[in-house]
Structure 1
Amino acid sequence: MRAVRQAVIDIGSNTVRLVVYAGSPRAPLPIYNEKSRVKLGACLAGDGEIDKATMKKALAALARFETLARTMKVDSLRVVATAATREAKNGQELVEKAAALGINVDVLDGDAEATAAGYGVLSDNPFANGYVGDLGGGSLELIRIADGTLGARVSLPLGTLRHDILTGKSSKQITQMLRDDIAKTMGQSAFPIETGLPFYMIGGSWRTFARLHMHETGYPLTILSNYEIPPEAPELLTPLVQDKDALTRSNVVAAGRISALPSATALLSGIVGLLMPSKLVTSIYGLREGLLYEQLTAEERSQDPLIAAARFEGARLGRFPFHGDALAEWIAPVFAGQGAQDARLCRVACLLSDSVWNVNPEYRADHALDLALDGSWPGVSASDRAVIAAALWTVHAGKRTLPEMLTALAKPGALAQAVIWGLAIRLAHRLDGGTGGALPDSRIDGDGATLRLHLSGSAVRLQSNSVARRLQALGEALGYAQTEIMG
């Protein structure tokens, strides 16, 4: 299983940021993240030039981040700059001074920036069908995505550092301004509008809005990835985002984000009026992840990022030679009628089922729960996380009663199914001690009344009362009247 370490330095309009990734190429995991709030984009609202102090600060950040990346022995390093650098009158001076430090900066044009943002969402949600919006300090990129590919895309001069453009405008006026700007940039019909599709939000200000929505609705998790918001939320939260004192008291919005939040929310309301989306989806994947996705082979892109991430972590954390996929195939006959999404989540549970062995036995179930709920898993909703957590909790707790939090995130039927996956995995772990050694010489099936565990070869010697009890627990959960071990 190939592991890589990659780094991206992103010279944005608000910050210069270094992110270092490790793990599977298809599901890179951030292992280091640091930013310097340089605010290059301030020049966009002024005379159009980066002043000397800001230039010096940006170069110092670049020098530090490039040194850190090299010290971390990354396999690849990409340094890119976006709207502020490409629009500043002296943006090329920044590029040349960076080159003198041995740092090659690639200044992305609007189309390249939009392309990377669109690929960022596809790297997380390969089957996403909707629109992507990437709101930075100096620009807004809109991208149509469907069937794993990018459609029309446009870069507009609307960013959090250009908030004066939005001041005093209603949502309807901002919607019309978006229409006009798109037509001016691309022509009247070059960016088709399809209503009723999800809108994927990228950018720090929109993530802050999502965090505020979580707080106001009492959402039980703080995981922003793929957090879903109803389209009417920007209008409903507008009075709050305009109240600086209330935002400060909430302890949810960082001080540096408070001033940008009203314009970011107003712009989001305008986009809702333009696209009339079915929902707003928060994305923590964006330009940087899109740049990494662009480097993948066609075969790597075709992989499910969630499966790739779980397989990598399962192999890294497991006790024995990895057999998570074999385990998924072993229990599959019991769940032959389940759909593709259920089979996907069941496989993830199998891949991660041996990942907390080094925790004290009294706390393994809790750690397994946290692994599923809080891990950096791509391509999952909160409901998906809860379903995986229910399966892993059952593997290690052996109980069919789940923590109350899970019932707030997923439907009862989905959780009940996950518990049965957990009981099946729990049986397999006890049969051969979690080694996977008995899987080739055993199988489980049922005839309507009896659930049977068939053993052959050396697996016949693995029978025990404990194995029989776990088989019985699985049979009862599946509704079988009796269970039997044959061999």
Structure 2
Amino acid sequence: MIMLVPENNHNTAVIDIGSNSVRLVIYRIEGRSIWPLFNEKILAGLGRDLRQTECLHPQGKKDTLIALRRFKAILESYTLSKVHVVATAALRDAADGPEFAHEIERVTGFKVRTLTGREEAHYAGQGVRCGQLEAEGFVGDLGGSSLELINLDPQSTFKGLTLPLGPFALGAPKPMDVEKTYGLIRTQLDPLRSQFRAKTFHAVGGAWRNLALIWMMKVNYPLQIIQQFELSARDALTIARLVAIQSPTSLEKFPGVSKRRMENISYAALVLQGLIECFEIETICFSANGLREGLLFDDLPDTYKNLDPLIEGCANFGARHGISENLGPALAAWATEFYDSVDVDRPSEKLIKAAAKLADIGARLHPDHRADLVCDQVLRAPIPGQNHAERVFLACALYTRYSGDAYTKEPVLVSRILGDERHLQATQLGLTLRLGCDLSAKSAKLLKMAHIRQDDKTLIVSAKAGWDDLLLGEQTRKRARALANALKLSLRTESY
């Protein structure tokens, strides 16, 4: 029996029965943050022959039931607030879809909710907003049998649609006639030009994520993280056209993509090419979130939905490492007050707040390795709401916070993603946080007793009268001198 217990911070699960894959993901919900705890899928191919037979694939049905029985046993070992069991285009369109949904309930006890195309589009859009609240443009979620499209413009009256443009609907796993298939794709997309013209397209779905990974590997891109990875339309067209014309044998040479995915990826590439060329897209932003995260985001209280996913993610990530909830906001306010006095380019308020909330995550790590371990955690943690440049910025800032040095261990991250100017900003912020943490012994109360500011060519570190001997000791002066040097300022300490 699956135990369901409602609570503020809780575990929940989604079973997603798609045309190609059947997947279970168990999540931890902490306020606005949604963390995957367990993720398992099988490529059952339920929609494999749907276009020819109008029925679900027989072996796919058997494989799905086996997987769902396993998923039930797994879920019975967790305490959960809710279990979503949803099905998409294959069960929606197949003549035997309702019958199979009843069989699933009889065999496993799972009551399947078969989503409409509009619901599927809505949840895909919500999944993108869950990870990137300020996202603009439109979303495309490519599954095995269908493509869902939805605008992210809150003023749009158009609520999304579904099109038969998934690989199985276009003929997969048979070899593709590129010219004929592209004509079918454009026939579906061309009438929608006025509804979906936008500079940014958010790509959702496993086949498109694999396209992004292939591009990363071909150009030796230094950060293989899908969430908010961006490609120009030119680069996306290059990889899409390359993959679309490859034979299955040639595709198998690409590392990191399963053989079953390769059956569909040429079709997915051609659909992406059609979207770019039809809607005159300029940037493709790949999302690791989709329908499953959208279901959970939709369930959150409205007060949570408009919170910044990066700030909330950093706060919850920090709390998991034992950081005081008061330290981050105090450090952010302290650093912001300093930046208001300094004649340098400053980081965004969001990045200052995010870095401050992560400023003590290395407290329980070995002191000889803190800087490297913290940097790697921040660089690769599943914290949403940040593009790749922001991710590298925070990793560099936190490395400096613990080491006192600029991050130079992977210079390609800086040269290809961040840039020298922002690298300098990250170093200066890291030194500011290092000074604040050591000056106050990571106490928000003590931090209020000291301030830093620039006065002409001097960095002034001041402490409240009576506290100067306690706060302006040898370690504080050492940390302050490092920050002053990075800003090319002299240093003075005083009481007030």
TM-score by length of 1: 0.92
Q: Secondary structure at the match of 1:250?
A: coil
**2:3 alignment counterpart:** none
Residue 16 (structure 1) aligned with residue 22 (structure 2)? yes
Residue 420 (structure 1) aligned with residue 428 (structure 2)? yes
Compared with structure 1, are the counterparts of its residues 43 and 457 closer, same or farther at alpha carbon in structure 2 (3 Å cutoff)? farther
Residue 260 (structure 1) aligned with residue 268 (structure 2)? no
Name the aligned partner's letter for residue 167 of structure 1.
Answer: D
**2:328 alignment counterpart:** 324
Q: Once the two structures are superposed, what CA deviation does each residue of 1:230-281 show, in whole Å capped at 9, x if it has no partner? A: 2133542334551444432332322221121111111111111111111111
Compared with structure 1, are the counterparts of its residues 179 and 341 closer, same or farther at alpha carbon in structure 2 (3 Å cutoff)? farther
Higher alpha-carbon deviation: 57-66 or 11-20: 57-66
**1:102 alignment counterpart:** 109
Please list, as runs of the form range in 1=range in 2, the aligned pairs for 1:87-486 lying within 5 A after superposition.
Answer: 87-100=93-106, 101-146=108-153, 151-164=158-171, 167-169=177-179, 173-174=183-184, 176-179=186-189, 183=191, 192-195=195-198, 197-237=199-239, 238-241=241-244, 242-318=246-322, 320=324, 322-336=326-340, 342-400=348-406, 402-403=408-409, 404-407=411-414, 408-456=416-464, 459-460=467-468, 461-486=470-495
**1:72 alignment counterpart:** 78
Q: Once the two structures are superposed, what CA deviation does each residue of 1:445-474 show, in whole Å capped at 9, x if it has no partner? A: 232233222223774323311111111221
Q: Is the Cα contact below 8 Å between 2:243 and 2:269 reproduced in 1?
A: no
Name the aligned partner's letter for residue 96 of structure 2.
Answer: N
Q: 1:219 offset after TM fit, Å?
A: 0.4
Equivalent of 1:4, from 5, 10, 20? 10
Q: Distance in 1 between matches of 2:156 and 2:332?
A: 30
Q: Is the Cα contact below 8 Å between 1:306 and 1:378 reproduced in 2?
A: yes
Q: 1:486 offset after TM fit, Å?
A: 2.0
Residue 26 (structure 1) aligned with residue 27 (structure 2)? no
Higher alpha-carbon deviation: 348-357 or 318-327: 318-327
Q: Is the Cα contact below 8 Å between 2:101 and 2:111 reproduced in 1?
A: yes
Give me the identity figure in percent.
30
User: How many positions carry a matched residue from both structures?
Assistant: 479
Compared with structure 1, are the counterparts of its residues 205 and 57 closer, same or farther at alpha carbon in structure 2 (3 Å cutoff)? same
Runs of at least 4 residues off by over 6 Å:
337-341
Q: Once the two structures are superposed, what CA deviation does each residue of 1:302-321 show, in whole Å capped at 9, x if it has no partner? A: 10011111000111103556
Name the aligned partner's letter for residue 216 of structure 1.
Answer: K
Q: Is the Cα contact below 8 Å between 1:240 and 1:246 reproduced in 2?
A: no
Q: 1:406 offset after TM fit, Å?
A: 3.0
**2:92 alignment counterpart:** 86
Q: Is the Cα contact below 8 Å between 1:4 and 1:25 reproduced in 2?
A: no
Q: Distance in 1 between matches of 2:21 and 2:169?
A: 15
Q: 1:433 offset after TM fit, Å?
A: 2.2
Q: 1:58 offset after TM fit, Å?
A: 1.7
Q: Secondary structure at the match of 2:408?
A: coil
Compared with structure 1, are the counterparts of its residues 457 and 406 closer, same or farther at alpha carbon in structure 2 (3 Å cutoff)? farther
Q: 1:322 offset after TM fit, Å?
A: 4.6
Q: Is the Cα contact below 8 Å between 1:346 and 1:418 reproduced in 2?
A: no
Name the aligned partner's letter for residue 275 of structure 1.
Answer: F
Higher alpha-carbon deviation: 313-322 or 277-286: 313-322
Compared with structure 1, are the counterparts of its residues 147 and 395 closer, same or farther at alpha carbon in structure 2 (3 Å cutoff)? farther
Q: Is the Cα contact below 8 Å between 2:170 and 2:181 reproduced in 1?
A: no
- Structure 2: gaps (5+ residues): 1-6
**2:4 alignment counterpart:** none
Q: 1:415 offset after TM fit, Å?
A: 1.3
Q: Distance in 2 between matches of 1:147 and 1:465?
A: 54
- Structure 1: gaps (5+ residues): none
Q: Is the Cα contact below 8 Å between 2:459 and 2:491 reproduced in 1?
A: yes
Q: 1:216 offset after TM fit, Å?
A: 1.3
RMSD over aligned Cα atoms: 2.5
Q: Secondary structure at the match of 1:28?
A: strand
Q: Is the Cα contact below 8 Å between 2:347 and 2:425 reproduced in 1?
A: no
Compared with structure 1, are the counterparts of its residues 471 and 235 closer, same or farther at alpha carbon in structure 2 (3 Å cutoff)? closer
Q: 1:150 offset after TM fit, Å?
A: 8.0
Q: Distance in 2 between matches of 1:204 and 1:333?
A: 44
Name the aligned partner's letter for residue 427 of structure 1.
Answer: L
Q: Distance in 2 between matches of 1:53 and 1:11?
A: 15
Residue 40 (structure 1) aligned with residue 46 (structure 2)? yes
Q: Distance in 2 between matches of 1:282 and 1:217?
A: 17
Compared with structure 1, are the counterparts of its residues 88 and 435 closer, same or farther at alpha carbon in structure 2 (3 Å cutoff)? same
Q: Distance in 2 between matches of 1:291 and 1:59?
A: 23
Q: Is the Cα contact below 8 Å between 1:137 and 1:160 reproduced in 2?
A: yes
Q: Secondary structure at the match of 1:362?
A: coil
Q: Distance in 2 between matches of 1:66 and 1:20?
A: 12
Q: Distance in 2 between matches of 1:86 and 1:398?
A: 57
Name the aligned partner's letter for residue 443 of structure 1.
Answer: H
